[in-house]
Structure 1
Amino acid sequence: MKISAVIPAYNSAKFVNAAVASIQAQTKPVAEIIIVDDGSTDETEAVVRALPGNIVYYKQANQGPSAARNKGIELATGDWIAFLDADDQWTADKIALQKAILEKYPELVLVAGDMAEIDNNDHIITESVLAKHGMLEGFQDLAGQAIPNALARLVTKNFIPTGTVLAKRDILIAAGGFNADIRFGEDLELWAKIATYHPIGCLPQRLMLRRQHGKNATSANESMLLDLTKVMDSIRTFSEQQLKHQGLDPNQLVADAFWNLGYWYFATYKSNLARNAFVSSLKQQLTWRSFAYLIASSLPRLLVLRIRKFKQRIS
């Protein structure tokens, strides 16, 4: 088993040293570290070239993290790929824990895990993201076994942080790699493709420290919500029958994505865009919720403000 670690980097001079150090500190070492510099304009190249160890450095024009990860997969000589963003860090036993679970459950083609969140000073903000989202106990019960109905669980809540993933290289390639046309949710799309046809696992142990700062904030915004409509439509296309088999309505997934987009527009008083999104939601699935918000987004803004104030008072 030969593992290649892939790091996409963009203007990462401040943190990439710590990311690489966390890989080199593994109790079970990886064979190589591939750093794909995605068009950095800071000192990233100089910092990386000064680092010791088996590091492959490749620089390309800026194309986004998905294209950088795909290039890393292409350059890798390992049969297994592990990912880490340049501003994050692995815990020291990350690879050891994953190797152990793969020895126990060799049918798995992808193993992820829990993570903590840290600030720019490496202070822990969140001890367990799985616990934060109420999922830790379920993965503790599974103890690394193949996840039942993993596809349905993924599209309900993406529980796989990219920086914790260890996956078979040929499976990543067969699934098409990361979709470079999508900026938000491209990881979910890839994991869903893999989970549609293969067993995957998720360890309850903390495998990564993810840095929280403005550059990687993923609070709801228009671009993210637009991309998620594309992601859910894509997942429906290649996993429709599997989703149905696992108890989910594929059309409802897409309808909900459009409703979330419509509600964001509605909440930010972009009425025309809200109406278009709610109409798109209704085309996927007829629901009273979408119909009600379609009507509400057609009302005068002043009336909407009064309705909101009334709802706040009675609640």
Structure 2
Amino acid sequence: MQSVKSITVIIPTFNRRLFITEAVGSVLDQDIDDLEIIVVDDGSTDGTRDALMPYRENIRYIYQGNQGVSAARNRGIQESRGELLAFLDSDDLWAPEKLKTQIDKVRTENVLCFEGVEWFVDREEDREFLDQCEDVMWPRCDASGDVIDPVLDVAEGRYFHLGTLLCRKSTFLEIGLFDESLCYGEDEDWFSRASLKIPFCYFSEPLLRRRFHINQIGHEREESIRSLIKVFGNIKARTAGAYPKAHAVANKRLAAKWSHLANRLADQDRFQEAAGAAWTAFSLEPLNMKRLVKTALLSCAMFRSGQNS
């Protein structure tokens, strides 16, 4: 029978040979006894398996055909033997004191414990990616670090990063696994479900170093936008009734994402679909006249496009 570990760290990876050993090394530097590291390789073809060979005595390496990051994380959870769970993306790094900062809090209280984040790039030409960090909203906490209203904070998009989470495995399973139908925003969807059941706490010290680089999944892709539409729709549905502020802000974010999709479709001259997306955005916020004007303009573009075809 396999022994129970103190903490399981799950690292999903896909074609991150250049970064994965740094990520594993930052977990090994945690100086935590009885630590289990599970690397779930989601179909890499770039030599990731070979890069990890020197670490095989320290990690459990699991290979599966490419199914997406949610499926990889879920596989790691199902294979885990730890009482506590943590996650790290394979291109990010932990500070050496990351787990020790959280472990006592999680062992004494049934909470989801998060920490701060700092961002970095390896190449000067990637520095533009750091611009997206300028408008980050951090969680609102009391003096002890407990998040005052996690349901509202998640609905508003305040910055909880999965790579900073530590929680009990039993708690995670009570909330449920990641939604594998989502290709983007799956962590935010999970946080929304969790906020309805479990208290959050947040330590502001930046103990996760998040790397930005050109090969990351882009939030401007149509698939990513549609995935976030589903996420925000889920949050809106979950907060209906008991959480009016969270419901209202989720509706606003959902409308904005439909409008974002309209822009992306219009860029591809898919004007009929773009007008439909813009109309959906307006129907969610019928007092927003800018959305009505946008719908009208895209409808005209659709008409002109039809005449010219």
Please report the TM-score for the alignment, with normalisation by the length of structure 2: 0.84
Which deviates more, 251-260 or 31-40? 251-260
Q: Where does structure 1 lack aligned partners over 5 or more consecutive residues?
A: 304-315
Pairing partner for 2:53 from 28, 40, 49: 49
Secondary structure of the 1:111 match is strand
Query: Could you say if the C-alpha distance between residues 89 and 29 of structure 1 is closer, same or farther in structure 2, counting changes exceeding 3 Å?
Result: farther
Query: Could you say if the C-alpha distance between residues 50 and 249 of structure 1 is closer, same or farther in structure 2, counting changes exceeding 3 Å?
Result: closer
Matched AA of 1:296: L
Partner of 2:244 in structure 1?
A: 244
Secondary structure of the 2:11 match is strand
Q: Does 1:113 align with 2:126?
A: no
Deviation of 1:300 (Å): 4.2
* Partners of 1:294 and 1:65 in 2: CA distance: 35
Q: Does 1:94 align with 2:83?
A: no
Deviation of 1:53 (Å): 4.5
Partner of 1:295 in structure 2?
A: 296
Deviation of 1:69 (Å): 0.3
* Partners of 1:80 and 1:130 in 2: CA distance: 31
Deviation of 1:280 (Å): 1.9
Partner of 2:166 in structure 1?
A: 166
> Superposition RMSD on alpha carbons, in Å?
3.1
Query: Could you say if the C-alpha distance between residues 274 and 240 of structure 1 is closer, same or farther in structure 2, counting changes exceeding 3 Å?
Result: same
**Match runs of 1:138-177 below 5 Å:** 142=142, 145-177=145-177
Deviation of 1:134 (Å): 5.3
Deviation of 1:221 (Å): 3.0
Deviation of 1:285 (Å): 3.8
- Partner deviation per Cα, 1:157-208 (whole Å, 9 max, x = no partner): 2411221111222232232211111111111000110012211122211121
Overall identity of the aligned pairs, in %: 24
* Partners of 1:228 and 1:131 in 2: CA distance: 18
Query: Could you say if the C-alpha distance between residues 242 and 262 of structure 1 is closer, same or farther in structure 2, counting changes exceeding 3 Å?
Result: farther
- Matched positions, count: 298
Q: Does 1:15 align with 2:19?
A: yes
Partner of 2:68 in structure 1?
A: 64
* Partners of 1:296 and 1:240 in 2: CA distance: 32
Matched-pair contact (CA < 8 Å) for 1:114–1:129: no
Partner of 1:310 in structure 2?
A: none
Partner of 2:276 in structure 1?
A: 276
Matched AA of 2:229: T
Secondary structure of the 1:208 match is strand
Which deviates more, 282-291 or 88-97? 282-291
* Partners of 1:6 and 1:90 in 2: CA distance: 13
Secondary structure of the 2:240 match is helix
Q: Where does structure 2 lack aligned partners over 5 or more consecutive residues?
A: 305-309
Matched AA of 1:60: Q
Query: Could you say if the C-alpha distance between residues 29 and 143 of structure 1 is closer, same or farther in structure 2, counting changes exceeding 3 Å?
Result: farther
* Partners of 2:178 and 2:123 in 1: CA distance: 30
* Partners of 1:13 and 1:77 in 2: CA distance: 26
Please report the TM-score for the alignment, with normalisation by the length of structure 1: 0.83
Q: Does 1:193 align with 2:180?
A: no
Pairing partner for 1:75 from 74, 79, 96: 79
- Partner deviation per Cα, 1:127-150 (whole Å, 9 max, x = no partner): x999843545x65x6456321221
Query: Could you say if the C-alpha distance between residues 223 and 61 of structure 1 is closer, same or farther in structure 2, counting changes exceeding 3 Å?
Result: same
Deviation of 1:291 (Å): 1.3
Which deviates more, 270-279 or 47-56? 47-56
Matched-pair contact (CA < 8 Å) for 2:97–2:207: yes
